[in-house]
Amino acid sequence: MKTGLILEGGAMRGLFTAGIIDVMMERGIDFDGVIGVSAGAAFGCNFKSRQPGRVIRYNKRFCRDPRYCGWRSLIKTGDLFGGEFCYHELPDRLDLFDRAAYDANPLPFYAVCTDVATGEPVVHRCDDAEESLEWLRASASMPLVSRIVTIDGRGYLDGGISDSVPLRTFERMGYEKNVVVLTQPADYIKKPNRMMPLFRWRLKAYPRVVAALADRHWAYNQTLAYVRRREAAGAAFVIRPKAALPIGHMCHDAEKLEAVYQIGRETVEACLPALKSFMAGQRADVLGK
């Protein structure tokens, strides 16, 4: 029975996920495949390159650097998170992404993006580090604050637009037992996006993406209902924060980043016995019940 790890996005809430995957690497917990969305892909790739500690390290180091994230980057480059800096200069020179280790690791790692022409999710298997970085960038390219990323002639935006928590997707791909990392608490309900007028204006050339954004709250809440059903059936093990994480989409405070990262570490440490039982094939108690 194939085991999968599913990593939701959430911009800087992804530091919660980073804490979780670091503990998993330190404790030798592995999977038959990993799929990430948005920040879940951009940070989760370090699980395949086997670099615990890297995500929190570079986020704390560069959180105040205008090249990394901020309105200055958005105005200057068209990306809130600077595309050239985040996906080239940083991993190539400033805090090295271990491309050799990533390429040598046979673990299948997938990134979810949204095709702007169809509004549908595209799941890309990221085997080669060099080729994968643009897919990771596309997966994390939030609408309004990111440029569309073009790969092989097609345009992509954030995977969370079309498949925020790809549990059904991974099950269809043959992963029958899945650990799902969510970055919102159990009582979270997504509401309609108040930015829809701006989305309609900015993305008027892509009506199917606009439609997906308009329906996203409904689709997301339906997906979470499905996650809960699979959780209750013992087919999914869900790790989520107990309360809303104290961080926004942007954060220039290294202490806040560290705090969210530590919440992730503490959350997974608290459920390790149940997680190990689940991975071993036994029915595990659901975290937080």
CB atoms within 10 A of CB 53: 13
Q: By the 8 A CB rule, do 21 and 44 touch?
A: yes
Instruction: Say which of 115, 158, 162, 164 is annotated catalytic.
Output: 158
Taking CA atoms, 257 is separated from 23, 153, 250, in Å, by: 17, 36, 10
Q: Which of 38, 132, 162, 164 is catalytic?
A: 38
Contact predicate 158/177, CB 8 Å: no
> Catalytic: 163?
no
Q: Does residue 73 carry a catalytic annotation?
A: no
Residue with tokens 């390159």: 49
User: What's the rounded Cα separation, in Å, for the pair 97 and 256?
Assistant: 24
- Phi and psi for 143 in degrees, rounded to 5? -65, 150
DSSP annotation of 81: B
Residue 17 and residue 60: Cα distance in Å, rounded?
Answer: 15
CA distance 90 to 97: 8
Give the strand pairing for 175-181 and 2-7.
parallel
Instruction: Tell me which residue of 277, 232, 238, 240 sits closest to 4, measured CA to CA.
Output: 238
DSSP class of 151: E
Helix axes 39-48, 129-139, angle to 10 degrees: 150
Instruction: Give the catalytic positions in this structure.
Output: 38, 158
